Amino acid sequence: MSDGQTTDTVRRTTDPVLTVDNVTKSFGGVTALDGATLEVRDGEIVGVVGPNGAGKSTLFNCIMGVYELTDGRVELDGTDISSQRTDVIVNSGMSRTFQLARVFPDLTVRENMLINQEHRNERLVETLLSPSDQEVYDRADELLEFVGLEKLASSPAGELSTGQKKLLNIAGTLLSDPEIVLLDEPAAGVNPGLVDDIAQSILDLNDRGATFCIIEHDMDMIRSLSEYLYVLHNGTNLEQGEPETVLQKEAVLEAYFGQ
C-alpha cells in the first residue's frame, strides 16, 4: 500500500482508527501531497516528520476535510470520510490542534475548554451560556488538571504563554472524547521549559487511552513520544517504522540536510 520503506521492527496488530490511502492534493500546478499513505491504530502515538514544505499540514487539512482531495481516500474506523465536511468529521470522532495555538483571549481558560463541547446552538456565545451538564464541567476541569492548568482555570486565556495555550488546545480536543487527535507541531514556538510538560501531558493522556497523530519538528520530542514514525518528503512517503531506526536512514538525513 505504501511507497515508503517499512522497518518491520514494530508490530502493529489492531485495526487502524485512521487510514490515509494514497492521498494526493494539488493546488493548481503545485502538488502538495502525492499519494501519501498513513495508518494510526487505537492507542498509538504516531509521528509525522519531514522537511518544510513536505506536505504535513496539508495532510492534516486533507484528513479533516478542510481540502477536497485530488485523489485517494481517508477512512475513520473503516468509514470513508473523504468527502465529508469538517464538522461532520469532528462529530465522528476526529479532533485537531493547529500549528499556531488558538484561544479566545478574553474568555477564561475554563470557558475556552467548554467551547469545545458539541455546539447545541449555532452561536458560540449561546453554547457558553447554555447550561453545561455537570459531567462536562467535571471533565473540563479534570483535563485542565491533567495538563497542569487547573490553577489558571478562571484566568483569561490571553494571559497564557504560547506553551500553556498549546496545552489548553490539547486538553480542549479531548473534551468530546475523540477517537483520535491530530496535533500539528505541539512544541513549535514553545519555551523550552514547557516542551517537556507538553510531551509528558501527551504521554499521560495516551496512558489514559487517547490516540494521537503528531506532526513535529522537534526531533528529540518525536523520538521520545512516537512509537511509529512516518517521514514525508515532497508529498510522498519516504520512510516509516520505529523512530530510532527511521531517523538514521540515509534517505531521511539527505531529505533534511541535502547532499
Residues within the interface to Mg ion (CB under 5 A)? 56-57
- Measured CA to CA, the distance from residue 32 to residue 24 in angstroms comes to 8
| CB 56, min distance to Mg ion, A | 5
Grid cell 494571559 in the structure block, residue: 159
**Residue 174 vs 183, nearer CB to Mg ion:** 183
Q: Is 1 in the site for ligand ADP (CB under 6 A)?
A: no
Report the helix count and the strand count for the chain, using DSSP H and E.
10, 11
Query: Least Å distance between CB 56 and ligand ADP?
Result: 3
108 binds, among ligand ADP, Mg ion, none (CB under 5 to 8 A by kind): none
Is residue 57 part of the contact set for ligand ADP (CB under 6 A)? yes
In this structure, the chain runs to a length of 259
Least Cβ distance, residue 237 to ligand ADP (angstroms): 13
d(CA 131, CA 181): 26
Asked if 30 interacts with ligand ADP (CB under 6 A), we say: yes
- 137-141's contacts with Cβ under 8 Å and 24+ in sequence apart are 139/175, 140/110, 140/113, 140/114, 140/175, 141/110
Which of 14, 52, 154, 259 binds ligand ADP (CB under 6 A)? It is 52
Binding site for ligand ADP (CB under 6 A): 27, 30, 32, 50, 52-58
